[in-house]
Structure 1
């Protein structure tokens, strides 16, 4: 297996999924800041943008968790 193939497979491995979930956590910090800023400025459009971003982040994280669970179900060693 070449290095490129290994790198592509990392995204769908447990460490790769955990890394993606951790990255999402940092994205959540940015969204919280955006919501606070939009509220202090009374900017409805910025608030809606931040909330849509939050919904996308939540959905993406849920998909990653589901994929992580499916990897766990397929693992013979986990029982």
Structure 2
């Protein structure tokens, strides 16, 4: 299997899914800072924007978790 095919299959692997989950969870740090700043400035519009972003992060993590469960033990990169 060529390196290019392995790289393309990485996103559908358990490792790739874990990496995507970590990246999505890391973006929660930015949203938490945005919420803190919006509260200190009493900016309702920024607070709503941050809340919508937080919901998007939770949804993204749920989708990735579902994908991880779907993959089960069938890892693309192991074979």
Shorter-normalised TM-score: what interval?
Answer: 0.7 to 0.9
The runs of at least 4 aligned residues of structure 1 exceeding 6 Å deviation read: none
Gaps of 5+ in 1: none
1:38 aligns with 2:38: yes
Shift of 1:3: 2.2
RMSD: 1.5
CA drift of 1:8 comes to: 1.3
Please give the per-residue CA displacement for 1:42-68, whole angstroms capped at 9, x wherever unaligned: 111111111111111111110000000
Write 1 or 2 for the structure with the bigger share of helix: 1
1:22-33 map, 5 Å: 22-33=22-33
Higher relative contact order (CA 8 A, sep 6+): 2
Task: Give the TM-score, by structure 2 length.
Answer: 0.86
Q: How many residues align?
A: 75
